[in-house]
Amino acid sequence: MKWFARIKSELNKISFLRSIRFRMSVVIVLVGVICCCVMCFGILQSYFYRAIEVRTGDIQNQMKVLADHLVTYNYLQNPSSDVVNAELEQFSTLYEGRVIIINDRFTVIKDTYHLSQGKYIISEEVIRCFKGESVSNYDDANKYIEMTIPIQINSGESNQVAGVILVSVSTKSIENNYNILNHNALLISCLVMTGVIIVAVGVSHFMMRPFDRVTKEINNLKEGFSEEIITVNDYVETEKIVTAFNQLWQRMKVLDDSRQDFVSNVSHELKTPMTSIKVLADSLNTQEDVPVEIYKEFMTDIVAEIDRENDIINDLLSLVKLDKSSSDLNILPVNINKMVEGIFKLLKPLANEKKVDLIFQSHREVIAEVDEIKLSLAIMNLIENGIKYNREEGGWVEVILDADHQFFMLEVSDNGIGIGEEDKKHIFERFYRVDKSHSREINGTGLGLAITRSTVLKHRGSIKVSGEEGEGTVFSVKIPLSYIQ
For residue 386, the minimal CB distance to ligand ADP (Å) is: 5
265 binds ligand ADP (CB under 6 A): no
169 binds ligand ADP (CB under 6 A): no
Closer Cβ to ligand ADP, 56 or 445, answer by number: 445
For residue 375, the minimal CB distance to ligand ADP (Å) is: 16
Closer Cβ to ligand ADP, 98 or 430, answer by number: 430
Candidates 6-14, 204-212, 427-435, 476-484; binding stretch for ligand ADP (CB under 6 A): 427-435
State which of residues 416, 454, 477, 478 lies at the interface with ligand ADP (CB under 6 A): 416
Candidates 75-83, 160-168, 301-309, 409-417; binding stretch for ligand ADP (CB under 6 A): 409-417
Candidates 14-22, 160-168, 269-277, 382-390; binding stretch for ligand ADP (CB under 6 A): 382-390
433 binds ligand ADP (CB under 6 A): yes
For residue 164, report the phi and psi dihedrals to the nearest 5 degrees.
-135, 140
For residue 453, the minimal CB distance to ligand ADP (Å) is: 9
The number of residues that bind ligand ADP (CB under 6 A) is 22
Site string for ligand ADP, 445-464 (x = CB under 6 A): xxxxxx--------------
Closer Cβ to ligand ADP, 149 or 401, answer by number: 401
For residue 467, the minimal CB distance to ligand ADP (Å) is: 8
Closer Cβ to ligand ADP, 249 or 432, answer by number: 432
State which of residues 73, 130, 389, 483 lies at the interface with ligand ADP (CB under 6 A): 389
- Pick the closest to residue 269 from 227, 319, 229, 233 (CA basis): 319
Cα 451 to Cα 377, 454, 458, distances in angstroms: 9, 5, 11
- Pick the closest to residue 402 from 460, 346, 481, 301 (CA basis): 481
State which of residues 76, 351, 410, 434 lies at the interface with ligand ADP (CB under 6 A): 434
For residue 462, the minimal CB distance to ligand ADP (Å) is: 17
For residue 437, the minimal CB distance to ligand ADP (Å) is: 11
State which of residues 32, 97, 150, 386 lies at the interface with ligand ADP (CB under 6 A): 386
For residue 377, the minimal CB distance to ligand ADP (Å) is: 12
Closer Cβ to ligand ADP, 117 or 439, answer by number: 439
Closer Cβ to ligand ADP, 190 or 317, answer by number: 317
Which parts of 464-483 interact with ligand ADP (CB under 6 A)?
Answer: 473
Which parts of 301-360 interact with ligand ADP (CB under 6 A)?
Answer: none
Q: b vs e for 466-484, b when ≥16 Cβ sit within 10 Å of the residue's Cβ?
A: ebeeeebbbbebbbebebe
Q: Indicate left, alpha or beta for 419 from its phi (over 0: left) and psi (-120 to 50: alpha).
A: beta
For residue 423, the minimal CB distance to ligand ADP (Å) is: 7
Q: Edge-to-edge strand order for the sheet containing 108-111?
A: 108-111, 97-103, 158-170, 144-155, 135-139
395 binds ligand ADP (CB under 6 A): no
For residue 223, the minimal CB distance to ligand ADP (Å) is: 40
For residue 444, the minimal CB distance to ligand ADP (Å) is: 3
Closer Cβ to ligand ADP, 276 or 439, answer by number: 439
For residue 335, the minimal CB distance to ligand ADP (Å) is: 25
Candidates 33-41, 127-135, 248-256, 416-424; binding stretch for ligand ADP (CB under 6 A): 416-424
Amino acid occupying residue 381: N
C-alpha to C-alpha distance for 185 and 414, rounded to whole angstroms: 95
State which of residues 88, 427, 477, 479 lies at the interface with ligand ADP (CB under 6 A): 427
State which of residues 56, 168, 381, 454 lies at the interface with ligand ADP (CB under 6 A): 381
Chain positions contacting ligand ADP, by CB under 6 A: 381, 385-386, 389, 414, 416-419, 427, 432-434, 439, 444-450, 473
